[in-house]
């Protein structure tokens, strides 16, 4: 069997996010986040679980970095908890919060693991939410102040910066559907929040450039490759709409200085066509160095006059993960080809992985289904590079089992198992599989 060998500098990593792993939700001066507030609200999270302790990474980060080194990670993507730095979102600084990340980054560098920082992975300071949160345009400015401080502190030692994680998800699930913090159900608000997040992104990129830092800065977008159920004209149009709405909404403003047509049509149909100052798009489209994509599954769609946008989802025929997401590795290849064709920008896969109901038997976790998932997707990443995509790296989601938002701890994505009763970590078989991938810089074809 042929070995598919990646380019020499290809970056193999794993990813996490602050609220999902850190715990210490109100320790050492950290301010409340909207996820603390949301998860403390009964009925929002599976079995009313929350991130108060999570994986206790705040206290166990040294052990966790040792495990990253044991796996052989070349990079580690993690997010900064904004309210751990600025408890009120701006103004008063929390030195102990800064010190935690200083120690974490120092430990990573000591182990030759490149830090890749996500500045915002959904845990907005509650104090800013109390002033309107992402519905308040000023939050974009406050974000750039926070980003500027992080660049000042770590810009010389952290080579990869991601401004936002999945603005579509935090705008829509947080402001339109209410499934995520801050739990609002206001479709119009989702568009305003999304726009202010993009503004925040652009202002942060400008701050990074003004600081003259030598690293790379980008954004992470969630993508699900879209396929029409049939080749009928109606289904093809439905697929085009879904791709624009689900994948391009937060990409086109950055690369084309405008929203996809479908977004403007929704705004106009609802009389929400706000007058976004054209100058916003000058800021939003500040050039970035890479695009991060989070790929998990695809979307098969068909025309349906009774559905939102006239588009209904059709379930795929292949195996599904514990999240109910179809396993479709070819979708990763297709989306990489499409995005690189359309935007010609270096790409990182900043998240890819699968939740399965892992069990510990004789001290081992034989997660062969996750190994197969990772293997097939890593193969597609190789074929995308072979076919011309400038793909720079791959971050598995996730380094360790963690708080899976509204699903609480019921979904396990980690390549490291976490026993939440004891906080014991156990490398799953998939961790050893990934270790071999990294050692060989390649995968069996």
Ligand X SMILES: CO[C@H](O)c1c[n+]2c([nH]1)[C@H](O)[C@@H](O)[C@H](O)[C@H]2CO
d(Cα 179, Cα 70) in Å, to the nearest integer? 36
Buried b (16+ CB within 10 A) or exposed e, 327-344: bbbebbbbbbbbbbeebe
In terms of CB distance, is 36 or 404 closer to ligand X? 404
Identified binder of ligand X from the candidate list 294, 321, 352, 430, rule CB under 6 A: 294
Q: Is 166 in the site for ligand X (CB under 6 A)?
A: yes
The CA radius of gyration of the chain, in Å to the nearest whole number, is 21
Q: Which stretch binds ligand X (CB under 6 A): 63-71, 143-151, 164-172, 199-207?
A: 164-172
State the number of binding residues for ligand X (CB under 6 A).
12
Q: Residue 84 or 90: which CB sits closer to ligand X?
A: 84
Q: Which residue from 213, 413, 417, 433 is in contact with ligand X, where contact means CB under 6 A?
A: 413
Among 78, 100, 250, 296, binds ligand X (CB under 6 A): 296
The minimum distance between CB 250 and ligand X, in angstroms, equals 12
Report the Cα–Cα distance between both ends of the chain, in Å, rounded.
6
Q: Identify whether 166 is a catalytic site residue.
A: yes
Residue 116 near residue 162 (C-beta atoms within 8 A): yes
Stretch that binds ligand X, among 165-173, 271-279, 381-389, 431-439 (CB under 6 A): 165-173
* Structure tokens belonging to residue 175: 């402001």
Q: How far is the CB of 17 from ligand X (least distance, A)?
A: 5
- Name the helix (H) or strand (E) containing 102: helix 95-110
Q: Any contact of residue 334 with ligand X (CB under 6 A)?
A: no
Residue among 280 and 351 whose Cβ is closer to ligand X: 351
Of 56 and 404, the one with the shorter C-beta distance to ligand X is: 404
Number of neighbouring beta carbons within 10 Å of residue 394: 28
Identified binder of ligand X from the candidate list 78, 397, 433, 434, rule CB under 6 A: 397
Q: Is 229 assigned a catalytic role?
A: no
Residue 137 backbone zone (phi > 0: left; psi -120 to 50: alpha; other: beta): alpha
Contact code string over 118-157 relative to ligand X, x by CB under 6 A: ----------------------------------------
How far apart are CB 442 and ligand X at their closest, in Å?
26
User: Does 250 participate in binding ligand X (rule CB under 6 A)?
Assistant: no
Choices 63-71, 163-171, 227-235, 329-337; region in contact with ligand X by CB under 6 A: 163-171
Burial class (CB in 10 A: 0-12, 13-18, 19+), 31: buried
Structure tokens that stand for 227 in this block: 């396929």
State the minimum distance, in angstroms, from the CB of residue 72 to ligand X: 23
Report the residue number, 157 or 323, with the smaller CB distance to ligand X. 323
Please check whether residue 181 is in contact with residue 236, taking contact to mean a CB–CB distance below 8 angstroms.
no
Distance of CA 194 to the CA centre of its chain: 15
Residues 392 and 347: beta-carbon distance below 8 Å: yes
Footprint on residues 188-247 left by ligand X (CB under 6 A): 222
Query: Minimum distance from CB of 355 to ligand X (Å)?
Result: 7
- Which residue reads 């489209």 in tokens? 285
Among the listed ranges 30-38, 161-169, 278-286, 300-308, the one in contact with ligand X (CB under 6 A) is 161-169
Residue 17 binding ligand X, by CB under 6 A: yes
DSSP 37-67: HHHTSTTSSGGG--SSSTT-HHHHHHHHHHH
In whole angstroms, give the CA distance from residue 35 to residue 327.
29
Nearest approach, Cβ of residue 249 and ligand X (Å): 14
Q: Catalytic residue among 66, 166, 234, 268, which?
A: 166
| 351 is an interface residue for ligand X by CB under 6 A | yes
Q: Which of 425, 443, 426 is nearest to 434 (CA)?
A: 443
Among the residue ranges 100-108, 129-137, 162-170, 265-273, the one whose residues contact ligand X (CB under 6 A):
162-170
Q: How many residues does the chain have?
A: 445
Q: Does 80 bind ligand X (CB under 6 A)?
A: no
77: nearest Cα among 415, 288, 349, 291: 349
How far is the C-alpha of 80 from the C-alpha of 73, rounded, in Å? 20
Q: Which residues are annotated as a binding site for substrate?
A: 20, 121, 165, 296, 397, 404-405
Evaluate whether 114 touches 77 at the Cβ level (below 8 Å): no
In the bound state with ligand X, the residue whose beta carbon lies nearer, of 90 and 370, is 370
Q: How far is the CB of 125 from ligand X (least distance, A)?
A: 18
Q: Which residue number places its CB atom closest to ligand X? A: 222
Q: Which residue pairs, CB below 8 angstroms and at least 24 apart, start in 230-234?
A: 230/302, 232/303, 234/302, 234/303
CB of 221 to ligand X, least distance (A): 9
Strand 347-352 versus strand 290-303 pairing type? parallel
Catalytic residue among 22, 32, 326, 351: 351
Catalytic residues: 166, 351
The residues binding ligand X (CB under 6 A) are 17, 20, 165-166, 169, 222, 294, 296, 351, 397, 404, 413
């Amino acid at each position: 069997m042929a070995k598919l060998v990646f380019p020499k500098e290809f970056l193999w990593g794993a990813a996490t996010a602050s609220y999902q792993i850190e715990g210490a939700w109100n320790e050492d001066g950290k301010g409340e986040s909207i996820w603390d507030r949301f998860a403390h609200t009964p009925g929002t999270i599976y079995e009313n679980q929350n991130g108060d302790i999570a994986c206790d990474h705040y206290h166990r980060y040294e052990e966790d970095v040792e495990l990253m080194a044991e796996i052989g990670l070349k990079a580690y993507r993690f997010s900064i908890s904004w309210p751990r730095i600025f408890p009120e979102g701006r103004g008063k600084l929390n030195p102990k919060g800064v010190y935690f990340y200083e120690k974490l980054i120092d430990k990573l560098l000591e182990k030759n693991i490149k830090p890749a920082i996500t500045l915002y992975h959904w845990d907005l300071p509650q104090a800013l939410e109390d002033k309107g949160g992402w519905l308040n345009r000023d939050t974009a400015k406050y974000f750039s102040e926070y980003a500027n401080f992080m660049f000042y502190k770590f810009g010389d030692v952290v080579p990869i910066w991601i401004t936002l994680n999945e603005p579509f998800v935090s705008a829509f699930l947080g402001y339109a559907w209410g499934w995520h913090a801050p739990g609002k159900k206001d479709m119009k608000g989702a568009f305003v929040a999304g726009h202010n997040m993009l503004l925040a992104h652009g202002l942060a990129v400008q701050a990074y450039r003004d600081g003259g830092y030598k690293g790379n800065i980008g954004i992470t977008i969630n993508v699900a490759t879209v396929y029409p159920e049939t080749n009928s004209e109606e289904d093809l149009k439905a697929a085009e709409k879904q791709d624009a709405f689900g994948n391009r909404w937060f990409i086109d403003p950055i690369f084309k200085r405008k929203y996809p047509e479908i977004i403007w049509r929704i705004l106009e149909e609802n009389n929400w066509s706000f007058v976004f100052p054209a100058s916003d798009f000058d800021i939003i489209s500040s050039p970035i160095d890479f695009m991060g994509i989070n790929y998990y599954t695809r979307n098969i769609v068909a025309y349906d006059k009774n559905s939102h946008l006239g588009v209904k989802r059709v379930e795929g025929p292949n195996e599904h993960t514990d999240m109910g997401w179809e396993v479709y590795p070819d979708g990763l290849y297709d989306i990489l080809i499409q995005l690189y064709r359309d935007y010609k920008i270096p790409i990182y896969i900043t998240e890819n992985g699968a939740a399965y109901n892992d069990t510990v038997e004789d001290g081992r976790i034989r997660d062969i289904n996750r190994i197969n998932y990772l293997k097939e997707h890593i193969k597609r990443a190789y074929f995308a590079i072979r076919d011309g995509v400038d793909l720079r790296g791959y971050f598995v989601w996730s380094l360790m089992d963690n708080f899976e938002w509204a699903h609480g701890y019921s979904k396990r994505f980690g390549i490291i198992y976490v026993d939440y009763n004891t906080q014991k970590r156990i490398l799953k078989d998939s961790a050893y599989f990934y270790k071999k991938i990294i050692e060989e810089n390649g995968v069996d074809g």
